[in-house]
Structure 1
């Protein structure tokens, strides 16, 4: 009897081990476990679940989106959104006219200077008098506008218009809706102001190079990227932070430790 029980136990253990190993191999082959959404347990039909997904993971369902998600399969659609690699040719074509989105921070600063900077440059070059800075006459404005055209300068408002317009176009037409929702979420969470200091000139690249590439990365990577970005450094006034020279501070610490050691 004991022998029979032992054989049965070993058989069951073997079956269990093989089943676990098989599951593991399936996961390894696929690279990740199969996604199963429990919408039926929640009492939802497939169309109701598709509408719920679209309301949570996009900026809103567009005509035909529910049918598209149902046809594709809810899990397949969500996995595509998590990957965020769907082609966006039509959106890219719309954004191609926004040249500021391709510029570096230095190029933006040299192309879209603030109004005060333009005035100082015009005074320096003898285009306007210092006493006429507060002049609101059309003649004064025309001089500044002609000076900007001559120097290849453009108003800062145009930079912000391009930035706002690209956000709206991406939200409305991008196929990678979840990434756009997350980009908007993290941009608002790690907020910087367009009205403080020189933040506005750094904001387009803040979203492009800091927020957007890290929306599905580790939180620590996103946090570090925002903390090191020029936009956040200006917004938090960290660009004015000063302290004791690092090498001098290190030398003082070593000297203090040496003195304590000698006294012992």
Structure 2
């Protein structure tokens, strides 16, 4: 199998390649592209590859733009940090939708599905129950609206939209309110917040230790080694810095 890999994050690209090499040693990466422009050029030679593994947010926009007006016959597996494009992806021959951070087993299953379609040459007739299940899931999905915190000797609630950022320190997770200088401990890890509880259009994990709220963001400045430093409408004892490998995706996120 020949793979057209569309991914503009070096770390994500390396991880996908590593998973492919480990589980599908006979497969080859025909080409690895990072922009809509490069993807459009590759799609002009459809006989050069068999399967497309494709990120959605690229440096110059959504990869969907490259597919518009084209008849795509290849199985496409979309790989993205954003779940809101799942239904739209099925307009572009999507056979599976893998969320970041990439789970190895999940990507392997998607690739196996794509391989079966190529071998059987059965076309991309999707199971209607799968589509119905996706529609139900994404139409009904809701995010956490408030968090229980302890204030002195009593408990209180903080609305999600009032939180400037979440951060972890020594194994504990804290929230800081917009316009506040106080922090409150909560019973959720950053990974749990990112994966299940926070709206990805509103909250973004800028590095391993911090998730910010778009509404609390006030200023963005260049920082050391290609990173960005953020000013939020809340107190922060240390600089809030966007990790270098997340800068491209972060810029796409704030321009959504």
TM-score normalised over the length of structure 2: 0.25
Higher relative contact order (CA 8 A, sep 6+): 1
Q: Which of these two proteins has the greater Rg computed from alpha carbons?
A: 1
Greater strand percent: which structure? 2
